[in-house]
Amino acid sequence: MEIQDLLTPERVIPALRATSKKQALQEMAATAAEVTALPERTVFDTLLERERLGTTGVGHGIAIPHGKLAGIDRIFGFFARLTKAVDFDAVDGEPVDLIFLLLAPENAGADHLKALARISRTLRDRAMCEKLRGSDDRDAIYALLHDSTTEHVS
Protein backbone atom coordinates (compact mmCIF):
# COMPACT_ATOMS: atom_id res chain seq x y z
CA MET A 1 0.00 0.00 0.00
CA GLU A 2 1.60 3.26 -1.13
CA ILE A 3 0.67 6.92 -0.64
CA GLN A 4 -0.30 7.31 -4.30
CA ASP A 5 -2.84 4.49 -3.78
CA LEU A 6 -4.50 6.58 -1.06
CA LEU A 7 -4.14 10.22 -2.02
CA THR A 8 -4.78 12.48 -5.01
CA PRO A 9 -3.83 16.16 -5.34
CA GLU A 10 -7.51 17.09 -4.92
CA ARG A 11 -7.49 15.50 -1.47
CA VAL A 12 -4.70 17.72 -0.19
CA ILE A 13 -5.76 20.75 1.86
CA PRO A 14 -2.66 22.98 1.89
CA ALA A 15 -3.84 25.60 4.39
CA LEU A 16 -6.64 24.36 6.63
CA ARG A 17 -7.86 27.04 9.01
CA ALA A 18 -9.11 25.41 12.17
CA THR A 19 -9.00 26.51 15.78
CA SER A 20 -9.68 23.14 17.42
CA LYS A 21 -9.43 19.40 16.94
CA LYS A 22 -13.19 19.20 16.44
CA GLN A 23 -13.19 21.91 13.79
CA ALA A 24 -10.26 20.31 11.95
CA LEU A 25 -12.08 16.97 11.90
CA GLN A 26 -15.30 18.67 10.74
CA GLU A 27 -13.52 20.41 7.87
CA MET A 28 -11.81 17.20 6.81
CA ALA A 29 -15.07 15.26 7.11
CA ALA A 30 -16.70 17.80 4.78
CA THR A 31 -13.96 17.30 2.19
CA ALA A 32 -14.19 13.51 2.58
CA ALA A 33 -17.97 13.60 2.19
CA GLU A 34 -17.63 15.40 -1.15
CA VAL A 35 -15.20 12.80 -2.46
CA THR A 36 -16.86 9.66 -1.08
CA ALA A 37 -20.50 10.77 -1.49
CA LEU A 38 -21.12 9.75 2.13
CA PRO A 39 -23.04 12.07 4.45
CA GLU A 40 -20.67 14.51 6.14
CA ARG A 41 -22.22 13.71 9.53
CA THR A 42 -21.53 10.00 9.07
CA VAL A 43 -17.87 10.64 8.34
CA PHE A 44 -17.53 13.10 11.23
CA ASP A 45 -19.27 10.78 13.71
CA THR A 46 -16.99 7.90 12.67
CA LEU A 47 -13.93 10.06 13.30
CA LEU A 48 -15.21 11.23 16.69
CA GLU A 49 -16.02 7.66 17.69
CA ARG A 50 -12.45 6.64 16.89
CA GLU A 51 -11.06 9.59 18.86
CA ARG A 52 -13.09 8.49 21.90
CA LEU A 53 -11.16 5.20 21.86
CA GLY A 54 -7.88 7.10 22.09
CA THR A 55 -6.27 10.03 20.39
CA THR A 56 -4.95 9.70 16.86
CA GLY A 57 -2.47 12.49 17.63
CA VAL A 58 0.68 10.40 17.33
CA GLY A 59 3.15 13.09 18.38
CA HIS A 60 5.55 15.55 16.78
CA GLY A 61 2.65 17.64 15.44
CA ILE A 62 1.07 14.76 13.53
CA ALA A 63 -2.37 13.16 13.69
CA ILE A 64 -3.67 10.22 11.70
CA PRO A 65 -7.43 10.10 12.28
CA HIS A 66 -9.04 7.09 10.67
CA GLY A 67 -12.18 5.03 10.54
CA LYS A 68 -14.05 2.30 8.73
CA LEU A 69 -17.28 3.10 6.95
CA ALA A 70 -20.02 1.23 5.13
CA GLY A 71 -20.69 2.63 1.69
CA ILE A 72 -17.16 2.96 0.35
CA ASP A 73 -15.38 0.33 -1.68
CA ARG A 74 -11.77 1.43 -1.33
CA ILE A 75 -9.45 3.29 1.03
CA PHE A 76 -9.36 7.08 0.78
CA GLY A 77 -6.65 9.34 2.13
CA PHE A 78 -6.83 13.08 2.80
CA PHE A 79 -3.99 15.30 3.94
CA ALA A 80 -4.23 18.70 5.60
CA ARG A 81 -1.60 21.18 6.68
CA LEU A 82 -3.09 23.46 9.32
CA THR A 83 -2.26 27.16 9.19
CA LYS A 84 -1.99 27.10 12.98
CA ALA A 85 -1.37 24.05 15.16
CA VAL A 86 -4.26 22.94 17.38
CA ASP A 87 -4.52 20.89 20.54
CA PHE A 88 -5.30 17.33 19.44
CA ASP A 89 -4.77 15.53 22.76
CA ALA A 90 -1.65 14.07 21.16
CA VAL A 91 0.35 11.46 23.04
CA ASP A 92 3.24 13.91 23.52
CA GLY A 93 0.99 16.85 24.44
CA GLU A 94 2.22 18.86 21.45
CA PRO A 95 -0.26 20.64 19.15
CA VAL A 96 -0.93 19.16 15.70
CA ASP A 97 -0.45 20.87 12.35
CA LEU A 98 -0.22 17.89 9.97
CA ILE A 99 -3.21 15.59 9.58
CA PHE A 100 -3.51 12.53 7.36
CA LEU A 101 -7.09 11.26 7.41
CA LEU A 102 -7.75 7.68 6.34
CA LEU A 103 -11.16 6.20 5.55
CA ALA A 104 -11.52 2.51 4.78
CA PRO A 105 -14.38 0.16 3.91
CA GLU A 106 -15.78 -1.79 6.86
CA ASN A 107 -14.17 -5.01 5.62
CA ALA A 108 -10.74 -3.50 4.76
CA GLY A 109 -8.90 -5.48 7.48
CA ALA A 110 -5.22 -5.84 6.64
CA ASP A 111 -5.30 -3.21 3.89
CA HIS A 112 -6.41 -0.60 6.44
CA LEU A 113 -3.50 -1.55 8.71
CA LYS A 114 -1.03 -1.50 5.81
CA ALA A 115 -2.22 1.98 4.84
CA LEU A 116 -1.87 3.23 8.42
CA ALA A 117 1.64 1.76 8.59
CA ARG A 118 2.66 3.45 5.32
CA ILE A 119 1.35 6.83 6.48
CA SER A 120 3.05 6.45 9.84
CA ARG A 121 6.40 5.56 8.22
CA THR A 122 6.16 8.54 5.88
CA LEU A 123 5.27 11.04 8.60
CA ARG A 124 7.88 9.71 11.03
CA ASP A 125 10.49 11.28 8.74
CA ARG A 126 11.18 14.64 10.40
CA ALA A 127 12.80 16.12 7.30
CA MET A 128 9.68 15.22 5.32
CA CYS A 129 7.45 16.89 7.91
CA GLU A 130 9.53 20.07 7.83
CA LYS A 131 9.17 20.19 4.04
CA LEU A 132 5.41 19.67 4.37
CA ARG A 133 5.22 22.44 6.96
CA GLY A 134 7.20 24.73 4.68
CA SER A 135 4.83 24.49 1.73
CA ASP A 136 1.37 25.88 1.22
CA ASP A 137 1.08 24.70 -2.38
CA ARG A 138 -1.24 21.73 -2.97
CA ASP A 139 0.77 20.24 -5.82
CA ALA A 140 4.07 20.62 -3.97
CA ILE A 141 2.66 18.92 -0.86
CA TYR A 142 1.21 16.11 -2.98
CA ALA A 143 4.55 15.68 -4.78
CA LEU A 144 6.41 15.46 -1.46
CA LEU A 145 4.03 12.78 -0.17
CA HIS A 146 3.98 10.92 -3.48
CA ASP A 147 7.76 11.00 -3.85
CA SER A 148 8.26 9.80 -0.27
CA THR A 149 6.99 6.41 -1.34
CA THR A 150 9.58 5.93 -4.05
CA GLU A 151 12.38 7.06 -1.73
CA HIS A 152 11.49 4.45 0.91
CA VAL A 153 11.05 1.48 -1.42
CA SER A 154 13.85 -1.00 -0.91
Q: Which one of the listed residues 66, 112, 146, 152 is annotated catalytic?
A: 66
Q: Which residues contact 52 (CB under 8 A, 6 or more apart)?
A: none
What count of other Cβ atoms lies within 10 Å of the Cβ of residue 9? 14
Q: Kind and range of the H or E element at 147?
A: helix 138-152
What count of other Cβ atoms lies within 10 Å of the Cβ of residue 127? 7
Known active-site residue 66: yes
Q: Kind and range of the H or E element at 44?
A: helix 40-53
Which residue numbers are catalytic?
A: 66
